[in-house]
Structure 1
Amino acid sequence: MQLQLVSFVLIILHCMDYTGCQPHSSPRHRQHKQFSGVSSGCQQGGCLTCSDYNGCLSCKPRFFMHLERIGMRQIGVCMTSCPPGFYGTRTPERSTCTKCRSECDSCFNRNFCTRCRAGFYLSVGKCQQNCPEGMVPSDTQKECVPRCPADCELCANSETCTQCRPGFFQLSGRCYHICPDEYEPNDKLMECTAQVHCEVGEWSEWSPCSKLGKTCGFKRGQETRTRQVLQYPSPFGKPCPEISEIKECLVKKRKCPGGQRNPERRGKRNRNNRKDKDSQGRRRERKREKQQDRDAGEREDSDNRNKTEHRHRRGQDVSPDDSIVQ
């Protein structure tokens, strides 16, 4: 009888540690506050077994058991991934979250940190206060980095380059093989300098319709307009657009008044006229000389013919007897 009573008491005490064993929770259990990630039953979240007082006692498959400290006690929470500062380990029996080393803010496992706490610098998975030889600490990256960047010949620190290696161009303390957008390489300075694009002003008004410098004496002509270059481009900047335009125009043909004639063209025309007159005079003179030569030749031929005819007539007038007498 006593043995049965002791067994009954043990069963009751054991059931008090789990939910669902009693129809009503005891006042002691009701006074505990709910905490984040833990439900009052095992049907929600990743808990496989749980209690109101200790939280999750075991997790469903693929969930990690993480112990959160609340006051003097630890509460079990089942999570899909471990929080920062912890790494997950899996065994056939259970998966748990294990705290990283004290100098690590986050880690992959106990021996490989991925981020360090303040005052430590990451180098090959280790958090160190002093970087290895040839490395310097980077406060922005919280890592040990090379003393100079890879493409840097001289540097002020691990992040500021003062002279780049051959073939690289400097810009804001960094070295570039190809300058970023809106910058172009300067081979003299070995720097990336800002591109300068062409800038032009507004178009002028269209000029009066004209042809060969005249605004009259024609029917079809041309109008022009121009604009000025305000800023010439750098070698790689956007080139200048057209700064002049010409379009055809049509006007009512009218004769030019005397004052509208082009003095230059009139002078040129007068010179041409004088040249033509001189040329015509020389041609007439040569023609006259040729005519005179031709007339002289004809006169000489006529005289020769007359003399020949005269001698011939004289020869016929002389008789044979006369020639004998003589």
Structure 2
Amino acid sequence: MGLVVPHWEISGVSSGCQQGGCLTCSDYNGCLSCKPRFFMHLERIGMKQIGVCMTSCPPGFYGTRSPERNTCTKCRSECDSCFNKNFCTRCRAGFYLHLGKCQENCPEGLVRSDTQRECVPRCPAECEACVNSETCARCRPGLYQLSGRCHHVCPEDYEPSDKLMECTPQVHCEVGEWSEWSPCSRSGRTCGFKRGQETRTRQVLQYPSAFGNPCPEISEMKECLVKRRKCAGGRKKNERRNRNNRKDKENQEGRRERKRERGQERERDTGEREDSENRNKTEHRHRRGHDTDPVSPDDSLPLLLHFHH
């Protein structure tokens, strides 16, 4: 029988006629019959059996219904739990479930799983763990999982995720509708020209994943023609521009005149220096010539006269 849990500790148990499950009872044997839809379960306490009415049978038992009474019947010895006498839903340790039967060895092509206590298919070569012979629960290193299969290269419309080691759906770029064309303009102006450009744009609604389709152009430009028209305030701008041009011209002429005057001053300075140097040279020659002139006959005459005397 195994360990018997006292009926007052089992959820759903009705003990004695005071409990809602019992229809008839005795002080010695507990419930003798149960209300409709309750199961009669016999618990052994020492040499005595106590009847307990339960909404469902405990583990290791299965419920059978009949017009006379609903009872809990023990599963086969190798079953931990069962659906009926011939169909186990979980096996005891050392047995492995296959098609509702608990057996010590699995059929050919299946292997024992101690954690599940079941006979499971041998995993495909690319699987590290599998649900069955066609469904992998975990792939070997370097492979990407998709829908229970392992792939070296992800199929079309999927891309590898090295973080998850899975094939994830590709995300392609999505863009919105084009805006209206902008007014014809040129260099930021909308007047004063004949040929210009118009532009339009659209927003990115969904950016692509690493391998998804990239976004198309989100801006376009085209040439445009407009009837030439003067810009508002153009006359004033032209007058101001002409004044500025005249000022620039006057400034340039003034700079040229000052440059010409400076050149003339340098020429005068150079001429004056040359004249001064020439005068100095002339005076120097005169002085030197005066010092070396021969004595005139008139100067030497008194000396000769004195000599004869």
TM-score range, shorter chain: 0.3 to 0.5
TM-score when normalising by structure 1: 0.45
